[in-house]
Structure 1
Amino acid sequence: MSRATETCSSAGILGCGHSLPAATRHNDDPVFNRLPREPGHTGAFDTVDFFTGSQERRHLCDGEPIETHMADAALAALAQAGMGPGSVDRLYGYASVPDHITPNALYRVHHVLGLPREALVVPVNSEFSNFLTSLVLATEAVASGSARHVLITCGSNWTRHLDYSKGHAFAAGDAAAAAVVGPAGLMRVVDHVTQTHSDQYLSMTMAIRSVDIDGHANLPLDQRGLPTPVYSMEAAGSEVYQSLLLNGLPDLVNQLLASNAVDSSQVSLITHQGSRRLLDHWAEAIRPGAYLESLHDLGNMTLATYPVNLSRHFTSITTPYVVLAAVGTGCHLTALLLANHPRAKASQAAPPKPP
């Protein structure tokens, strides 16, 4: 039995929820006009001939805050768990990209939900594994008796922070999702593993930087007229994507399964979803019983990808295990093994899910 099994066996997810912006963006949207589309274009990795698989994604409209969706997702998760905001002892998660260096908008979510003043707020900035890291911390807090109910909510507004001349921007979508962790959860953390490749610290970064438009350097500004951060994945990030992430993620998942004597056919898998090529490769390398992904209709929701897909399928997953496998900046890989209890969930009255 793993250390995580011994300490966290009674704590797990009681309910999930998600919220998506109403606005949609398709492949012919004018925002993609600056993307190089020719196969084999110089620097081919960073063109849409690699980042394929998305047909539709959701995006925030001007003035639409991601924290509104984070709060809506949280309310749906609380409702499914059968409790109200007053029962929350801690709030974990992250709003990304935040409007301010500090505070994170997670504090705004605390206010909108009307959580108790005594509820500890813990912003977890571990892009893109924020939900996974929060789930580990929440499980440990509940298992230790430090908290009884922990709410996790993560939201992504990354469509506002991309250079749309870069192929990795092609799949981007916005979303938010949440989960409630408490005693005797319906989906429980069994074990987790992580690898940190800090030698690739600068492979993927979000910073204030200029964007080249028609040969001119432009500094993107937000609605307040202030410089806004832009994500970059240059040569080093491309190499990491095609080597470490491509093969490192399935190796880590298979290591996790082997150490817990779980066959991949017993697993429903949720991973990062930036590219159809990656998803197909990971499916072949891991061979899960089910692969729960939404690249075609929701694109790459960065940190929200994992909880959104978990929420969409939470009450219908029938495999005895679920694996969440994240890639992230820093550079790191994280995988969680969850034990699923479908019979208990089948008896739970689930409220209607957001669209």
Structure 2
Amino acid sequence: TWVIPVGDDYSNYASCLLLADGLIQAGHAATILICIGGNWTRNVDYHTPQSVSAADGAGAAVIAMSDDVCKWYVADQCTVTDSSYYGSMYTDGLTLAASPPLQGYSTVYSPHFFQITQQGMNGFKSFGAQEALGAVTGLLQKTGLTGDDISFMPHQTSQRLIAYWHDNLSPKPAQMISTIEKFANVTVATHALNLAWYEENAGIEKDKLVMLALGPDMHANAMLLQRNETT
């Protein structure tokens, strides 16, 4: 049994689904378990705005061949990238002066926490809002779909960003899938958690589900999952 770690920021779930789908379609694997969890609350400084919606969460999915048309499968995806923002969001500690010295050290370091530069803030506003939505519109154009055809599960950093994506898709998605008001920002676990929670508690209205995931350096991935395809 292989254990394969995947580190792709907040688009981990989409990346794992794409890798799993490729391995299974190629006959290199029969069953794949995807497990994703995040402890974001331990990676933010509670003096910063980024901590406001911080939460922890986890989710999992089993991927395998199936003749059950009710099961979701990976239908297509679209990714947009702008690497000019590389390094504008990161985790690191602060260098602190200790006076008197601590055990002989006059320089000590704080725990690591999420940091964002001014360039990162600009990228969050421009790429994170406008350009990221291009992954969704590109995917819809590629597959001949519109917002009317889909349930939309966006990344849930903030309600403001979710509202922007909703308001700037035309026509608007038939259903918005978000648990930010219930679970806050569970970062890497967002899509695995939300898919499981909605299937169990609320229901996903459409048979075509588009997930939008972000990565800080920066990329955005839109993935189309489908079910109930009979042809």
Task: Give the AA of the match of 1:147.
Answer: A
Measure how far apart 1:210 and its partner are.
4.9
Which residue matches 2:205? Answer: 318
Which residue matches 2:180? Answer: 295
Measure how far apart 1:250 and its partner are.
1.6
CA distance in 1 between counterparts of 2:95 and 2:48 reads 13
* Deviation sequence 1:97-117 (CA, Å, 0-9, x none): xxxxxxxxxxxxxxxxxxxxx
Which residue matches 1:192? Answer: 77
1:109-188 to 2 correspondence within 5 Å? 119-184=1-66, 186-188=71-73
Contact 1:126/1:329 (<8 A) preserved: no
Aligned CA distance change for structure 1 residues 210 and 338 (closer, same or farther; 3 Å): farther
Contact 1:268/1:321 (<8 A) preserved: yes
CA distance in 2 between counterparts of 1:177 and 1:239 reads 31
CA distance in 2 between counterparts of 1:201 and 1:125 reads 15
CA distance in 2 between counterparts of 1:298 and 1:234 reads 27
> Percent same amino acid among aligned pairs?
28
Equivalent position to 1:233, from 116, 120, 133: 116
CA distance in 1 between counterparts of 2:151 and 2:95 reads 41
> Between Structure 1 and Structure 2, how many residues are aligned?
213
Confirm or deny that 1:281 pairs with 2:170.
Answer: no
Asked which structure has the greater RCO (Cα within 8 Å, sep 6+), the reply is: 2
* Deviation sequence 1:9-53 (CA, Å, 0-9, x none): xxxxxxxxxxxxxxxxxxxxxxxxxxxxxxxxxxxxxxxxxxxxx
Which residue matches 2:224? Answer: 337
CA distance in 1 between counterparts of 2:8 and 2:93 reads 19
**TM-score, reference length from structure 1:** 0.57
Contact 1:318/1:342 (<8 A) preserved: no
Measure how far apart 1:340 and its partner are.
2.4
Contact 1:173/1:298 (<8 A) preserved: yes
Which residue matches 1:207? Answer: 92
Measure how far apart 1:207 and its partner are.
2.5
**TM-score, reference length from structure 2:** 0.87
User: Is there any run of 5+ residues in structure 1 with no aligned partner, and where?
Assistant: 1-118, 212-216, 221-227, 344-355
Task: Give the AA of the match of 1:148.
Answer: A
CA distance in 1 between counterparts of 2:220 and 2:37 reads 20
Measure how far apart 1:329 and its partner are.
2.2
Task: Give the AA of the match of 2:154.
Answer: T
Measure how far apart 1:282 and its partner are.
0.5
CA distance in 1 between counterparts of 2:136 and 2:187 reads 19
Which residue matches 2:145? Answer: 262
Task: Give the AA of the match of 1:159.
Answer: T
Task: Give the AA of the match of 1:197.
Answer: D
Across the aligned residues of Structure 1 and Structure 2, the Cα RMSD in angstroms comes to: 2.0
Measure how far apart 1:314 and its partner are.
2.7
1:239-254 to 2 correspondence within 5 Å? 239-254=122-137
Structure 1 segments (4+ residues) deviating >2 Å: 207-211, 217-220, 340-343
Contact 2:175/2:205 (<8 A) preserved: no
User: Is there any run of 5+ residues in structure 2 with no aligned partner, and where?
Assistant: 97-106
Measure how far apart 1:265 and its partner are.
1.3
Measure how far apart 1:229 and its partner are.
2.2
* Deviation sequence 1:55-88 (CA, Å, 0-9, x none): xxxxxxxxxxxxxxxxxxxxxxxxxxxxxxxxxx
Aligned CA distance change for structure 1 residues 209 and 129 (closer, same or farther; 3 Å): farther
Measure how far apart 1:272 and its partner are.
1.2
